[in-house]
């Protein structure tokens, strides 16, 4: 199975580094800042939406999926965007957060691959192949 996330991860890093280099060093802290862990979890969810949309462009409305994610975390899009802007201005910390997102996505990919391999092996065993 080919890697699911490498192009998207590279794009995330480029966007984050480029955006983080713009403007003032510190953005004002939003009143309703999302916790760093929830922010990381949200980035993972957003990457899943992006990957799914790229794989199935005709079958998905990314905005509706994002709305479901915001509901799941009990936040608004504005709250996410404000937190995202704040965290992106912390370039070094943001790179650490992005590395954590990449690590978790890679772990998920490995888990899925192990499952796919076990299903294939079971299918081979049941057909005698």
**pLDDT 10s digits, 63-74:** 889 999 999 999
Chain centroid to CA 62 = 13
Q: How far apart are CA 100 and CA 14, in angstroms?
A: 16
Q: What is the pTM of this model?
A: 0.72
Question: Is the separation of the CB atoms in 36 and 97 below 8 Å?
Answer: yes
Q: Is the pLDDT of residue 47 over 80?
A: yes
CB 18 within 8 A of CB 100: no
- Helix 62-73 to helix 36-55 angle (10° resolution) is 160
**pLDDT digit string, tens, across residues 6-34:** 555 555 655 555 555 555 556 789 999 99
Going by pLDDT thresholds of 50, 70 and 90, the confidence category of residue 1 is: very low
What would the mean pLDDT of 104-115 be, rounded to a whole number?
90
What percent of the chain has pLDDT above 90? 47
Domain regions of the chain by residue span: 7-23+34-123
- Could you give the CA distance from residue 115 to residue 26 in angstroms, rounded to a whole number? 43
């Amino acid at each position: 199975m080919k890697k699911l996330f490498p192009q998207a991860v590279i794009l995330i890093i480029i966007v984050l580094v480029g955006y983080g280099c713009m403007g003032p060093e510190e953005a004002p802290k939003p009143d309703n800042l999302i916790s760093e862990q929830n922010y990381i979890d949200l980035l993972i969810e957003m990457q899943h939406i992006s990957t799914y949309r790229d794989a199935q462009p005709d079958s998905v409305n990314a905005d509706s999926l994002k709305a479901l994610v915001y509901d799941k975390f009990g936040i608004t899009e504005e709250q996410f965007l404000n937190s995202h802007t704040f965290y992106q201005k912390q370039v070094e910390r943001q790179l650490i957060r992005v590395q954590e997102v990449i690590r978790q996505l890679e772990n998920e990919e490995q888990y899925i691959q192990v499952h796919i391999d076990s299903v294939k092996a079971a299918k081979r065993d049941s057909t005698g192949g």
